[in-house]
Amino acid sequence: MHLLSRYLPASLRSAPASALFGIFVICLYLLVVVLAPVIAPYSETEILGAAYEPWSSTYWLGTDSLGRDMLSRIIYGARNTVGVALMATVLAFLLGGFMGLLAATVGGLVDQLLSRTVDVLLAIPSLIFALLILTIVGTSATSLILVIAVLDSTKVFRLARSVAQTVVVMDYVEAARLRGEGMWYLIRREILPNVSAPLIAEFGLRFCFVFLFISTLSFLGLGAQPPSADWGSMVRDNATLIAFGDITPLLPAGAIALLTIAINFVVDWKLHAASGLHD
């Protein structure tokens, strides 16, 4: 570990073992997402043998209900599940973060209109609202990303507005206003740098929630549609194997849990570092 720490960036040398483990797992998942066609032994949709074949040297994790290789579908499922969750989270932060900072900076009627609109959306249960909208507009990847991004942008809005309101009353922001600086300058140069730490931490947590939310929708049949591989739908399609003592359906669920834990390890470390507390 001492030799390894010499080659790590300075910001990571003081990171706890849990954070290093989380970073390693996240990097591993990203490699799988990028190199899925190279790593996977078979195609994502190719039917290779009989249904529910056991683990063997030919099919390391057996086959699914249609005879497709489970290992290959788990690898491709990382690209579909993680990719959609990442795009939805980024879009939610761009929308909710900007609106929250705008509401806190401008205040007045703009703040009231945006806040009340968000309150209305927050009053509707997210899962029920997503099921309703996706049933109407369809379950394509684009509609899935847009619906989840809009729903999660409300949570990001509340956090961004809350932390920004503690900054807009500071003397340096008032001095910038007196200098005649515009709204965009205030948000970009005065407010955003001082609220970035909680927003970065929220990005990690929000990604976990979106990731689990997408898996829930896929388990209910409203996520990625066949023949695309998705971890949530893979658990549903192969759940019958659990009754026979086969743990194969639990592997996609374990992949979901492992990434969620890894991200939380990194978020805890970043929050602890940003708080200024010492062990």
**Is the pLDDT reported for residue 4 higher than 50?**
no
Do 83 and 211 meet the contact criterion of CB atoms below 8 Å apart? no
**Is the pLDDT reported for residue 6 higher than 90?**
no
Q: Work out the pLDDT band at 274, boundaries 50, 70, 90.
A: low
DSSP tag of 88: H
pLDDT 10s digits, 20-35: 888 899 889 889 888 8
142 or 14, greater pLDDT: 142
- The candidate with the shortest Cα–Cα distance to 210, out of 274, 156, 272, is 156
Model-wide pTM > 0.85? no
For the chain, domains (ranges, CATH) are 76-275 (1.10.3720.10)
Contacts of 187 (CB under 8 A, 6+ apart): 101, 102, 105
Which amino acid appears at position 18 of this protein?
Answer: S
pLDDT of residue 124: 84
Question: What average pLDDT is seen over the chain?
Answer: 82
**Is the pLDDT reported for residue 278 higher than 70?**
no
**Is the pLDDT reported for residue 249 higher than 50?**
yes
The arithmetic mean of pLDDT across residues 85-105, rounded, is 90
The arithmetic mean of pLDDT across residues 274-279, rounded, is 56
pLDDT 10s digits, 40-75: 888 888 888 788 888 888 888 888 878 888 888 888
pLDDT 10s digits, 129-182: 888 888 887 777 788 888 889 888 999 999 899 888 888 888 888 888 888 878
pLDDT of residue 279: 52
Ranking 146-150, 245-249, 253-257 by mean pLDDT, the lowest is: 245-249
Do 193 and 132 meet the contact criterion of CB atoms below 8 Å apart? no
pLDDT of residue 1: 44
